Amino acid sequence: MKLAFSAEQQELRDSVSRFLADRMPLQRVRELMESGDGSDENVWSYAGSQLGLQGIAIPEEYGGGGFSFVEQAIVLEQLGAALYPGPYLASAVLAATALLASSDEAAKRDLLPGIATGSTVATLAFTEDNGSWEPDAIRLAATRDDQGWRLDGHKNFVLGGHCADLILALARTGDGLSLFAVDARAADSADGLTRKQLQTLDQTRTLGRLEFSALPARLIGAPGEGGQILDRTLDVAAIALAAEQLGGAQRALDMAVAYAKIRHQFGRPIGSFQAIKHRCADLLLEVESLRSAVGYAAAALAEDSAEVPVLAALVKALASDTYFHVAAENIQIHGGIGFTWEHDAHLYFKRAKSSELFLGDASYHRERLATRIGV
Amino acid sequence: MDLDLGPEIAQFRARLRDWIGANAPAELGGLTDWRIAATAGGYQGSEIARASTHPAYALWERRLGEARLICPQWPEEFGGQGMDAVRLAVLNEEFHAAGVPRVRRGMGESLVGPSVIVHGTAEQRAHFLPRIISGEDVYCQGFSEPDQGSDLAGVQTRAEVDGDEVVITGTKVWTSGAARANMMFALCRSDPSAPKHAGLSYVLFPFTDPRVRYRPIRQMSGASEFCEDFIDGVRAPLFNVIGGLNNGWKVAMTTLGHERGGAATVQHLGFEREFWELVDTARKYGRGTDPLVRQQLAWAYTGVQVMRFTGLRTLAEVAEGRPPGPEASVNKLMWSEYHKRLGEIAIGIVGTDGLVRPDGSGYPTTQWQNVFLSSRAGTIYSGTSEIQRNIVGERALGLPKEPKGQRP
């Protein structure tokens, strides 16, 4: 296992960071928040076709870059720091991982190359109106007739779900939970797919609600394989999201520390007061703890270690607490300007909460962790 | 998962493993569980002390000395082998895995030696260093004073020059290992007219001198791990002043700044063992299914694992020749605050059994009562959490210093 970044990995981090600073500054993020579906097609397609970011961890045989999850975590950290609002987590992590975790060789060859270049925006639809992250709560039904499989029911809280070209959905069959693919480019309500973009607390993260009515779908892998695919995908996604949260937490801490150095009150920089300094030191401890944990979990995933399920629950809980705490303290340290719409602190605060709640909050993952270590 | 540190380190590890296999006396491993001693959470000192009197231990100590495996991180010319932090970490891991003790020379090894190496003259190095390695000189620390806690540069203990001697008079406190020590390294005021930091000297003097008296300080846990020392005119040659007269602050800062990086990957092991003991306790008390207890245990597991991940990360960085990142500076804050919280969780889990102590004279306590009580000291000694946060804030984050107060 390697834990120190190589020169190539540092170069990757720097180039993604420069790309985002240049093409997706917070000013641009705000424009996307206010208008449309939150994605910038030029940035998305450049990231996919020129930088290879969407396909970075997809094997070369499926059109990807063939790098490991360590490299993908580097990308995710930078995306999180920039509050990148496009569907990267949906397409390059959730959908790509679900396909890779399936046994369906033909589907991988058909669908992954488009995801890798960014020409396909994909997502994974698994949660429903009940809001549960547990596979047992899934009610979407898949039935088979002489023309193939059809889906009936709904999905909710689907990342990028309102605009994805390809929807992978978990549904129940007689053989249990199974994964299905829907080509949403062609489908509309006449075909049995109704989509709605949701108004999100965190406007940098778009969510959709989907209704399916006898919608034709393609079975991915064998019937009954969905539970296993979903377990694996949620573990990978938890670590991926934690990498994003790390990036956001680090950026929020940097903002707070920079402000504490320049803001003067009572004739001194406020960072010289222990009330502020000690708070920043505690936040650094939390962010560095998270950095160590995400680095280890990413390396474990790259090696396909048996530790992954434990690490997934551990880092998602840690990242959720850490990012929210840092983002909240960032507002407090900024004082009055910190709770204005104009200042960027609230963007991180809202992203921190949406990232905490998505895939299950810290308590949910600590309970999973307790179970997984055998408590 | 094992950290991949490259082929050279893998070879070093294999050679070391062979050496331990060939040289560790057969009875050594069975004398006690030596792994406890290498970890931060253990309180089994007397058990270790008893096992250390066995002839197999003496034989092991001699073989380690011959192989330069005592103070191995010291430079070769001073009796070590210049072992870097990565190799030292591997050494700790292999000794731990084999269940054999590292023979350490306490504060002589970790604090006095490095200061003498950096600030001593050739003659001082030749005199003091071999006596530390051989175990002839055992040091205790004389930094804190009753009126000087965090504000170390304010120490009042005098070191007056009298001919070619210094005469030391004053009171030191929070000395651990006083009963085992024959030497003290102390920060003393040699020029009371100079500004606070400029009038200090770093002096080594005989602690067995009849003009030294000490009394144990009983802690809230009932244990007495520290002493208060009354030093009344002890004389030491000027030769025993390290780094020159009135230059003690700089020497003391070397001492405090000395990284114990080699412990990075074994430091968490004691906490990990303690965590699983607490899980067993929770099950025994039927609390393993209580959702709140499960949250607390998952939190504690996360704390221990973060220490493990951080140690591995630091080691990986150092192995690449990079300086350790900010994660190394929060180490003390992390484990001491963690342990305090763990003590609170543990006594909550045992519930009413936390109310009652075992029978016996003195103040005997159960394991979890002891963790609950003794862990309170961890965020105070060796730099309080508040001092740690100042250091982290100023050095790692570059926040401005607080304006200095007036001297009383």
Residues A202 and A332 in one domain: no
Final residue belonging to a domain, choices A198, A226, A254 = A226
Residues B117 and B241 in one domain: yes
Inside any domain, residue A239: yes
pLDDT digits (tens, 9 = 90+) for B126-180: 999 999 999 999 999 999 999 988 889 999 999 999 999 999 999 999 999 899 9
Contact of A327 with A287, CB cutoff 8 Å? no
Residues A78 and A215 in one domain: no
Residues A142 and A222 in one domain: yes
Residues A12 and A36 in one domain: yes
**Which residue, A60, A65, A59, A61, is CA-closest to A16?**
A65
Residues A259 and A363 in one domain: yes
Residue B34 CA from chain centroid, whole number: 17
Inside any domain, residue A45: yes
Tell me the CATH number at A279.
Answer: 1.20.140.10
CA A184 vs CA A193, A195, A221, A356: distances in Å: 8, 10, 19, 29
Beta bridge partners, B187, equal: B202
Inside any domain, residue B291: yes
Residues B192 and B248 in one domain: yes
Tell me the CATH number at B72.
Answer: 1.10.540
Q: Is the pLDDT of residue A66 over 90?
A: yes
CA B201 vs CA A55, B191, B280: distances in Å: 62, 9, 51
- The answer to whether residue B66 is catalytic is no
Contact of A154 with A209, CB cutoff 8 Å? yes
Cα separation, A170 vs A137, in Å, equals 11
Q: Is the pLDDT of residue A274 over 60?
A: yes
Which candidate from A278, A296, A318 shows the least CB-CB separation from B302?
Answer: A318
pLDDT digits (tens, 9 = 90+) for B236-285: 999 999 999 999 999 988 766 555 556 778 888 889 999 999 999 999 99
Report helix angle A274-302 to B291-319, nearest 10: 80
What phi and psi values does residue A140 have, to the nearest 5 degrees? -50, 130
Number of Cβ within a 10 Å radius of residue B347: 18
Residues A325 and A238 in one domain: yes
pLDDT digits (tens, 9 = 90+) for B327-377: 777 888 999 999 999 999 999 999 999 999 999 999 999 999 999 999 999
Residues B89 and B226 in one domain: no
Inside any domain, residue B63: yes
Residues B196 and B311 in one domain: no
Final residue belonging to a domain, choices B104, B122, B153 = B104
Catalytic residue among B47, B165, B259, B337: B259
In a 13 Å sphere around the CA of B102, the CA atoms on its Cβ side amount to 28
Residues B137 and B219 in one domain: yes
pLDDT digits (tens, 9 = 90+) for B274-313: 999 999 999 999 999 999 999 999 999 999 999 999 999 9
Q: What pLDDT is recorded for position B256?
A: 65
Residues A237 and A206 in one domain: no
Say which residue, A200 or B44, is predicted with more confidence. A200
Q: Is the pLDDT of residue B326 over 80?
A: no
| Inter-chain CB proximity B1 and A269 less than 8 Å | no
**Residue A188 belongs to what domain range?**
123-226
Q: What pLDDT is recorded for position A35?
A: 82
Final residue belonging to a domain, choices B84, B104, B124 = B104
The number of distinct structural domains making up chain A is 3
Residues of A (21-80) whose Cβ lies below 8 Å from B: none
**Residue B385 belongs to what domain range?**
267-396
Which residue in A has a C-alpha nearest to residue B397's C-alpha? A257
pLDDT digits (tens, 9 = 90+) for A110-155: 999 999 999 999 999 999 999 999 999 999 999 999 999 999 999 9
Farthest-apart Cα atoms in chain B, separation: 72
Judging contacts by C-beta atoms under 8 Å, the chain B residues touching residue A271 are: 393, 397, 399-400
DSSP letters for B350-388: HGGGGT-PPSSSS----HHHHHHHHGGGTTTTTS-HHHH
Residues A257 and A366 in one domain: yes
Inside any domain, residue B403: no
What average pLDDT score do residues B77-100 get?
A: 92
| Inter-chain CB proximity B294 and A370 less than 8 Å | yes
The answer to whether residue A4 neighbours chain B at the CB level (below 8 Å) is yes
Residues B276 and B369 in one domain: yes
Inside any domain, residue B50: yes
Residues A61 and A86 in one domain: yes
Average pLDDT of the residues of chain A: 97
Q: What pLDDT is recorded for position B320?
A: 84
Tell me the CATH number at B331.
Answer: 1.20.140.10
What average pLDDT score do residues A79-103 get?
A: 98
Residues B250 and B373 in one domain: no
The answer to whether residue B276 neighbours chain A at the CB level (below 8 Å) is no
Inside any domain, residue B2: no
Question: What is the least distance, in Å, from the CA of B281 to any CA of chain A?
Answer: 11
Residues B16 and B84 in one domain: yes
Inside any domain, residue A86: yes
What average pLDDT score do residues A243-252 get?
A: 98
Q: Is the pLDDT of residue A70 over 50?
A: yes
Inside any domain, residue A2: no
The answer to whether residue A300 neighbours chain B at the CB level (below 8 Å) is yes
Q: Is the pLDDT of residue B43 over 60?
A: no
Which candidate from B298, B312, B386 shows the least CB-CB separation from A370?
Answer: B298
Q: What pLDDT is recorded for position B331?
A: 87
Final residue belonging to a domain, choices A193, A226, A259 = A226
What lies within 8 Å, CB to CB, of B240 at 6+ separation is B166, B203, B204, B205
Inside any domain, residue A361: yes
In a 13 Å sphere around the CA of A203, the CA atoms on its Cβ side amount to 14
- Reported as type and span, the H/E element at residue B158 is strand B158-162
Which residue in A has a C-alpha nearest to residue B311's C-alpha? A292
Q: Is the pLDDT of residue A80 over 60?
A: yes
Burial class (CB in 10 A: 0-12, 13-18, 19+), A235: buried
Q: What pLDDT is recorded for position B269?
A: 87
What average pLDDT score do residues A8-13 get?
A: 97
The answer to whether residue B384 neighbours chain A at the CB level (below 8 Å) is no
Inside any domain, residue B251: yes
Inside any domain, residue A1: no
pLDDT band at B40 (very low <50, low <70, confident <90, very high): very low
Residues A278 and A350 in one domain: yes
Residues B129 and B251 in one domain: yes
The number of distinct structural domains making up chain B is 3
Tell me the CATH number at B201.
Answer: 2.40.110.10
Beta bridge partners, A183, equal: A166
pLDDT over 70, % of chain A: 100
Q: What pLDDT is recorded for position B325?
A: 72
Average pLDDT of the residues of chain B: 91
Final residue belonging to a domain, choices B257, B284, B318 = B257
Residues A115 and A132 in one domain: no
Residues A218 and A233 in one domain: no
Contact of A111 with A246, CB cutoff 8 Å? no
Inside any domain, residue B285: yes
Q: Is the pLDDT of residue B44 over 90?
A: no
